[in-house]
Chains A and B, each alone.
Chain A
Amino acid sequence: MKAKRQRDWKQRGKAHRRRETRSALLFLSPWLLGFVLFSAFPFFYSIYLSVCEVRFSYTGVATKFIGANNYIRALVGVGQLDFVPALLEFIGTTLVYTPLILVFSLVLAMLLKQKIRAKGFFRAIYFIPVIILSGPLFNEMGNNGSIHISGIRDLVLLRMVAAVSPQLMQLLLYLFDNIIVIFWFSGVQIVIFLNALQKIDRSLYEASSIDGATSWQTFWMITLPIIRPMTVLVSVYSIVNLGAFSSNKVSQLIRSNLFALVAGAGYGYSAALSWIYFLVMLAIIGLFFVLLKKRDRNPGGMPDASVFSTRRTGGPRK
């Protein structure tokens, strides 16, 4: 009797699963078709190119299989001393910047969410980095120094510091410059966090304030758990954005080698660099997955990376 019921359930589960799969594929069909038609070939072809020496000519692409040579040259090659330091620098900057961007954009989003005057005005301002950072514009502005605020050196306070210790002044200037860079890299993140915060049910906050929670407790017990999947999303975006940024040294190397005609450079070498870069970024993203994942829910079970998880996070578990 019990066995029969179980079998019944299993079968029903199977039918249900099949139906689910069909609907899911229906929703995914534009993306799947697009991937097959436009992305799959470039994606896998670039892997192939990374183990080749590639020359472009009028007739097409000439490839010669050279095994892992491109990779070896990139990592330990003689005379190729620029890639590994650039990569290490990227890893360092990303590991420092990403948490700072996360914290900064979350704090700013929380400020903007409060009942403040001229909300629309401030939101409009915080969208400006999104408009500017993504274009040829940012380079233009970087060139003529608009990104850095002029006159910071002349502030009385900084002059006083400089009079006491020039090193400290240098440190402050360095910090300040970096903070501004972080500001500039946080536009999209602020908007994502802001929208996520708007989605949190207000009654949760009311309940917690009735129970006498401080705003600090409310943040850790309510806001952060609900926002957690967003922090993963935002760090993925931040890491890739930092990596793809046009003045990033690694991405400059990849670009400058694409059509270089020097022996050992060229498209194949660039593809190899790209795939090494890919793996490094994937590793960094994986690290942030592990750091930001939910810890308490399934101790000892499968790692529950929240971008991949299918759990809903719309409110407290009942």
Chain B
Amino acid sequence: MKQPSLALKHRITQLEQKARRVGTAIVVYGLLVLIGYVFLFPILKMVSQSFMDSRDIVDPNILFIPSHLSFANFVQAWQTMSMPGSLFNSVWLSFLLASFQAVSSAMAGYAFARFQFRGKMLLMFLVLATYIIPVQVLVIPRFMVFSFYDLVGSVLPLLAVAFLGQGLSGPIFILIFRNFFEMLPPSIDEAAQIDGASRFQTFVRITLAMSVPILIVCFLFSFVWNWNETYVTGLVAAGKFRTLPLELEGFVASYTRLFIKPGSQTSKINEAIRMAGTLVSIAPLLLIYGFLQRQFVEGIEKTGITGE
């Protein structure tokens, strides 16, 4: 039997490799697109519904494309949610809360990642415990604490709590930072200290500088979660401070007050306007994510120094 020539063999391996690459690419992109569709679907549906009028919504022939383009829903939603005041409130409050939380959690995470001290296990356990205990049961005692300090009626308690590392889902940020700081080689810290940097300088100039991506991730998580948080915010602010999601919660009532004359038989609020309101309330999140996303990707490429 004649052996195939070397060139032919080589060609066959090349083809095999290429086929394998193409096959992998198909599987990878197929999965990514499929799963992406699952995530994107509700948003797409929301966008399309928010442009529909009350007839389009019930029309079974109209699935995604409304019969005509109109921004009427958005105009009404805009007025109902007392934009842009509530938007402004939401933006600065979430921004401050997220910044405070990122910084205080990073500090605590650094302490757990880099130092040996007595009581460390106990403190770690407390961090974990405050995360696991259902929040609902802490709300009333915490409210009592706030009124004890005479802080109710403003967003000050929220800011203080975030500044001191006890904010919304704070423990998970501490754990995230701790784990990521542990992935950085301590030899860089040691080198900085030999060069005369203090512990705090090392933390800011070395550890944080190398962790920009995870800092942004935590900031984003915190921003989103604080943005969407309404229960405690509503309780603490006691009606004196309205955020966008709070307005969304009271959407039906506000809408009825504004647009439906008493006694009239005409339309109740319809799904489309609700969807427009919902879209308005998360649009800023999508926008901010769009901005930070670029920095997030670049940050990863820039700070690729790891290992030894």
Interface residues of A (CB under 8 A from B): 17, 20-21, 23-28, 30-31, 33-35, 37-39, 41-43, 45-46, 49, 61, 108, 111-112, 114, 116, 119-120, 122-132, 134-137, 140-141, 144, 146-147, 149, 180, 183-184, 187-188, 191-192, 195-196, 198-204, 226, 229-230, 233, 236-237, 240, 243-244, 251, 254-255, 258, 267, 270-271, 274-275, 277-278, 281-282, 285, 307-308, 310-315
Contact = CB atoms under 8 A, between A and B. Distances in A.
B130 to A, nearest CB: 6
Main secondary structure of the interface of B (DSSP, over half): helix
Interface stretch (B1-9, B76-84, B121-129): B121-129
A198 B179 contact: no
Given A31-B107, A254-B134, A183 B161 contact: no
Contact of B133 (A46, A141, A312): A46
B186 A24 contact: no
Nearest to A30: B104
B43 A38 contact: no
Nearest to A248: B134
B18 interface: no
Nearest to B108: A31
Interface string B206-238: 000000011001001100110110100000000
B193 to A, nearest CB: 11
B184 interface: yes
Contacts of B138: 39, 42-43, 46
Nearest to B121: A308
A282 B132 contact: yes
Interface string B168-196: 00001011100110111110000000000
B43 A128 contact: yes
Contacts of B130: 35, 39, 43
Interface of B: 28-29, 31-32, 35-43, 45-46, 104-105, 107-108, 110-111, 113-118, 120-121, 123-124, 126-138, 140-142, 144-145, 160-161, 163-166, 172, 174-176, 179-180, 182-186, 199-200, 203, 213-214, 217, 220-221, 224-225, 227-228, 230, 245, 248-249, 271, 274, 278, 281-282, 285-286, 289-290, 293-294, 296-297, 300, 304, 306-308
A224 to B, nearest CB: 14
B121 A254 contact: no
Nearest to B225: A134
Nearest to A108: B35
Given A108-B35, A131-B282, A191-B217, 17 more contacts: A25-B117, A27-B107, A28-B111, A34-B104, A41-B145, A42-B144, A111-B31, A111-B32, A116-B28, A124-B293, A131-B286, A135-B282, A188-B221, A244-B135, A258-B136, A274-B136, A308-B124
A278 B132 contact: yes
Contacts of B297: 119-120, 123
Given A31-B165, A130-B221, A240 B131 contact: yes
A35 B134 contact: no
The CB with the most chain B CB atoms within 10 A, among A37, A278, A310, is that of A310
Nearest to B146: A38
B121 A27 contact: no
A125 B164 contact: no
Contact of B117 (A20, A119, A123, A275): A20
9 contacts: A27-B199, A37-B145, A39-B166, A124-B290, A127-B289, A135-B227, A244-B134, A312-B182, A314-B306
| Top-4 shortest CB links A-B | A34-B164, A201-B307, A135-B228, A42-B141
Contacts of B39: 125-126, 128-129, 183-184, 187
A254 B137 CA distance: 8
B120 to A, nearest CB: 8
Contact of B115 (A23, A146, A285): A23
Given A111-B28, A125-B36, A183-B38, A278 B133 contact: yes
Contact of A226 (B36, B183, B217, B278): B183
Contacts of B31: 108, 111
B161 A34 contact: yes
Contacts of B131: 236, 240
A145 to B, nearest CB: 9
B216 to A, nearest CB: 10
A29 to B, nearest CB: 8
Given A28-B108, A38-B164, A180-B38, A236 B224 contact: no
B48 to A, nearest CB: 11
Contacts of A183: 35, 38-39
Contacts of A184: 38-39
Contacts of B115: 20-21, 23-24, 27
Given A38-B166, A45-B141, A314 B182 contact: yes
A35 B126 contact: yes
A42 B42 CA distance: 38
B107 A28 contact: yes
B91 to A, nearest CB: 15
Given A45-B141, A124-B289, A134 B224 contact: yes
A21 B290 contact: no
Nearest to B301: A198
Contacts of A140: 274, 278
B141 A314 contact: no
Contact of B137 (A137, A274, A311): A274
A113 to B, nearest CB: 10
A33 B245 CA distance: 30
